[in-house]
Structure 1
Amino acid sequence: MATVREGSRSILLVVDVQVGVVRNAWQPVPVVAQVQRAVERARAAGAPVLWVQHHNQEMPRDSADWQWAPGLAPAQGETRIHKQWNSAFEDTPLDGELARLGATHIVLAGASSNWCIRATAYAALDHGYDLTLVSDAHTTDSMTLEDGSVIEAAMVIRELNIAMRWLEYPGRKNHAVPAEELVF
């Protein structure tokens, strides 16, 4: 576990798996199924599950797009964090909630890989947490650039999985594993 923080508790952080976020994402049905699998594994191990839900002008609170993707929902008593920025740490009570829980290890799943998942992953490491990215439980959309070239979603996901295996931070551990291999 992290030598930067006291404790040894793992939590699952589910970020932005919302109707409007995954609608056009790469392989949303199997990815949401893997998020469900991660949630089940966390709950079975007694690990807290924290749910992060994004809102902005395009996706206002309580709108149809703001809702959780079908099949996902916080259980009674599970923490919900509302955010407006890419990182789940930015201008939210997440860090305080993690401290209250004694968390030192964040298991991360959700959307969108190149925006909110990447920002949250780096912020978690910057805040001194160990990090496991659930390699088959995050997704994003392909991006068409101004010059017409396309960055394919599958490559963004693959690159982030590789980055989470190779990044090095002092006193912290990070990696990417499929939902089937999660240990809490």
Structure 2
Amino acid sequence: MASIRAGSQQALLVVDVQVGVMAECWDAARVIAQIATAVARARAAGVPVIWVAHADAELSQGSPAWQLVPELKPLAHERLIDKHFHSSFEQTELEQVLAEAGIAHIVLAGAASGWCIRATAYAALERGYDLTLLEDAHSTANLVLDDGSRIDAAQVMRELNIALHWLSYPGRRNAVAGAAEFAFGAA
């Protein structure tokens, strides 16, 4: 069993809202606006905002596609975590950054829903964090499979929202909430 994180300190974790990632995401402009709402509300409540940026062979670190979207910019004191795997925890400094800030509750937003958001959500719960997925502040691209069939992005997002609503881990709380409704800073 995972060590349950003590306390109720929150952090907003914004994953992969990069130009090249969001360019392929469904309803990207609306999702970026929802993430901006969450960032503003977290900052106003004194909740730390932590940013994550993915780099791999297709998304070269420092390239124009790797940059965060222009609508969302970290403040000078906010951390930017570099990652190379779907989970924001794998081989990154994220867990250390969260521990140093006493974070026990991760509020999650970003892209891509079926990959990095899902992997980060499950990794957070498996590591003993409480988790809230901002149901209207994540997105992904439509998936076209080898056989030509298609899985719509909206369905991937909906399924993840449902899964994280009903998922159960001992000693941890998980939920979904809207970016404008979530109570940042509340215990």
Q: What's the TM-score bracket when you normalise by the shorter of the two chains?
A: over 0.9
CA RMSD across the alignment: 0.9
Tell me the amino acid that sits aligned with residue 70 of structure 2.
P
1:170 corresponds to which residue? 170
Q: Identity of aligned pairs, percent?
A: 55
Deviations 1:101-130 (A, max 9, x none): 000000000000000000000000000000
Deviation, structure 1 residue 70: 2.1
CA distance in 1 between counterparts of 2:20 and 2:76 reads: 24
Q: State the Cα distance separating 1:49 from its structure 2 match.
A: 0.3
SS at 2:104 equivalent: strand
Residue of structure 1 in register with 2:86 after alignment: 86
1:24 shift after superposition: 1.6
2:108, 2:114 → 1: CA distance?
13
Matching residue of 1:107: 107
Q: Distance between the aligned counterparts of 1:5 and 1:23, measured in 2? A: 35
1:30 aligned partner, one-letter code: R
Q: Mean alpha-carbon deviation: is it higher for 174-183 or for 102-111? A: 174-183
Aligned to 2:8: 8
What does residue 39 of structure 2 align with?
39
The Cα of 1:5 is off from its aligned counterpart by 1.4
- State the shift of 1:7 in Å: 1.9
Aligned equivalents of 1:99 and 1:16: distance in 2?
21
Q: Which residue of 1 aligns with 2:125?
A: 125
Distance 1:80 1:17 in 2: 12
Q: Which amino acid aligns with 1:152?
A: D
Deviations 1:69-105 (A, max 9, x none): 1210100100110000000000001011101000000
Counting matched residue pairs gives: 182
Q: Secondary structure at the match of 2:180?
A: helix
Partner of 1:21: 21
Runs of 4+ in 1 over 4 A off after TM superposition: none
Q: CA separation in 1, counterparts of 2:82 and 2:5?
A: 24
- Structure 2 unaligned segments of length 5 or more: list them: none
